[in-house]
Structure 1
Amino acid sequence: MKIATFNINGIKARIEALPAWLEIAKPDVAMLQEIKSVDEGFPSEIFEDMGYRVETHGQKSFNGVAILSRLPLEDVTRGLAGDDTDEQARYIEATVIGKTAVRLCCLYLPNGNPVPGPKYDYKLAWMDRLHARAKELLVQEIPFVMAGDYNIIEQDTDAAKPELWREDALALPTSRAAYRKIAALGLTNALRAKHPEAGLYSFWDYQAGAWQKNNGILIDHLLLSPQAADLLIDAGIDKNTRAGDKPSDHVPVWAQLDA
């Protein structure tokens, strides 16, 4: 089972690039972030014609997450528990049925800038809620994957120029600590389990020639429960999608499971 996470930065802008990548990469599951569309506005038929089931949790113009799956999906839930006042569409869960059932948690973690301020407070509170959800799932002792745009540069080697991010919400010590608190529950970063080397990035800004200079950061992650980590075969980054026509500023990150 090949599971990918991809912040597409707008389905309308990626209406050609996303199907093209799916055709080449052929993931069994694609967890998407920043679809920037209400549910009824998402062009599901394009992906259904490619053999994907489509589940979305969207909102107008901002945020929005989706799961595309070639395999059956069950028990779809939308929204991250813990704050009934949160109206931002950043989280969707479903169980994918392969050789093994795997719980999919697709997330778009808040950016948090500017710091300090309410947006950063929201980021940290959201991460506390994600931590609580991970604990709940771990008690069930099932394979699960928490994948998406975490908006976290976990360590300096995850940035080409770490000095530029010292005061940014993506790399502050408190942000990194909140991420590591989640990982410390016993979750495995799929990419890092297979590729611990520096210089791997999943995001390049559109500005200042970041792509051409390889001035990137790694902020898209797949965290695996112990049961899912036991099934891990391989992981990687589809870097070349950033060089395509009308690309997202993110690229897909994927993991292959024996599931």
Structure 2
Amino acid sequence: MKIATFNVNGINARLPRLLEWLDEAKPDVACLQELKADDDRFPLEAIKEAGYGVVWHGQKGFNGVAVLARGRAPEERLRGLPGDPDDTHSRYIEAEVDGLIVASLYLPNGNPQPGPKFDYKLAWMERLHAHAAALLASERAVVLAGDWNVIPGDLDTFSVRAMANDALTQPESRAAYRRILHQGWTDAIRARHPEPARLYTFWDYQAGAWARDAGFRIDHLLLSPAAADRLRDARVDRDVRGAEKASDHVPVWIELGWP
């Protein structure tokens, strides 16, 4: 089973690129982030014509997450991250596909820091920590896939100095990510491509970042032990970034041995 995560940076603006990638890569499950569309503007018919069932959690103008499944309908398990009933951001959706639990998540960016946006980021990660622990306790095969907006280590950025004051590299952000990881999750890319490999998943539109390869790795797939035991491969579809009107992120995918 091939499971991918892809921050599309506006599903309607990038729909041709998304459909091209779905046709070429043929993921069995695709977790999308940053839809930037409310529920009634989600391009459902185009996704269905591409051969995918889908559950989604939209929001006008920003955020928004979805889980697509090729040739079948994902079964929605949870819409929105538990722990804060006043949180109106569409950043989490969880579904089941053929017995595999898959979550598409879009963590807060947190900039500028310090400040309320950074506080919200850390609080959101604390809520995710609690929910991730509950998922692990189920002893099910689970994949937490998405744009984590955390650069885990220095080798995951083109320049430690350039990112020194960014929320994505702050000690608190990295510590919150490690707390989740150390519950027993496996970072699929690092499991298959250990340091010192440099694999970026995001290149900003500004300052010629793509041409300079000034990127960083913030799109991650974390696997529960039952999923990690089945990990066969993990890759980054880097070339997608070079297409016309591409997202600033690229797809990251894993292959699991799955019935």
TM-based fold match above 0.5 = yes
Tell me how large the CA RMSD over aligned residues is. Answer: 0.8
Structure 2 partner of 1:89: 90
The match for 1:144 is 142
Aligned residue runs from structure 1 range 105-254, under 5 A: 105-196=103-194, 197-254=196-253
Q: Aligned residue for 1:20?
A: 20
Superposition pairs of residues 70-85 of structure 1, within 5 angstroms: 70=70, 71-85=72-86
Task: Report the residue type matching 1:162 in the other structure.
Answer: V
Q: Is 1:69 aligned to residue 69 of structure 2?
A: yes
Q: Look up the equivalent residue of 2:161 and give its one-letter code.
A: E
The runs of 4+ residues in structure 1 deviating greater than 4 Å are: none
Alignment partners' CA distance in 2, 1:117 and 1:62: 20
Which stretches in structure 2 are left out of the alignment for 5+ residues?
none
- The secondary structure found in structure 1 opposite 2:212 is coil
Tell me the distance in 2 between the aligned counterparts of 1:74 and 1:62.
Answer: 24
- What whole-Å deviation, never above 9, does each CA across 1:174-218 have from its counterpart, x for those lacking one? 110000000000000111100114321000000000000000000
Equivalent AA in structure 2 for residue 233 of structure 1: R
Q: Deviation digits for residues 39-67 of structure 1, max 9, x if unmatched?
A: 11101111111210011101100100011
Q: Which secondary structure does the structure 1 equivalent of 2:177 belong to?
A: helix
Task: Please state if 1:57 is matched with 2:75.
Answer: no
Contact 2:79–2:92 (8 Å) recurs in 1:
yes
SS at structure 1 position matched to 2:3: strand
What do residues 73-118 of structure 1 show as CA deviations (whole Å, max 9, x unaligned)?
2243210000000000000000111xxx110111000000111111
The alignment partner of 2:117 has SS state of helix
Q: Structure 1: 5+ residue runs without aligned partners? A: none
Of all paired residues, the percent bearing the same amino acid is: 57
Return the offset for 1:240: 0.3
- Provide the rounded CA distance (Å) in 1 between the counterparts of 2:95 and 2:241: 28
Return the alpha-carbon distance in structure 2 between the equivalents of residues 124 and 48 of structure 1.
36
Q: Which amino acid aligns with 1:105?
A: A
2:211 alignment partner AA = Q
Asked if 1:11 is matched to 2:2, the reply is no
Do 2:54 and 2:74's aligned partners in 1 also have CA atoms closer than 8 Å? no
Show CA shifts across 1:139-188 (max 9, x none).
11000000100000000000011111111100001110000000000000
Q: Is the 8 A contact 2:95 2:103 kept in 1?
A: yes
**Counterpart-to-counterpart distance in 1, 2:140 and 2:57:** 24
Could you tell me how far 1:72 is from its partner in structure 2? 3.8
Q: Which residue is 1:36 aligned to?
A: 36
Separation in 1, partners of 2:127, 2:137: 16
Q: Distance in 1 between matches of 2:240 and 2:83?
A: 36
2:257 is the counterpart of 1:258: yes
SS of the equivalent of 1:55 reads: strand
Q: Give TM-score, length-normalised by structure 2.
A: 0.97
Distance 1:8 1:249 in 2: 8
Using the size of structure 1 for normalisation, the TM-score is: 0.97
Q: Which piece of structure 1 moves more, 38-47 or 81-90?
A: 38-47
Question: What is the one-letter code of the residue matched to 1:44?
Answer: L
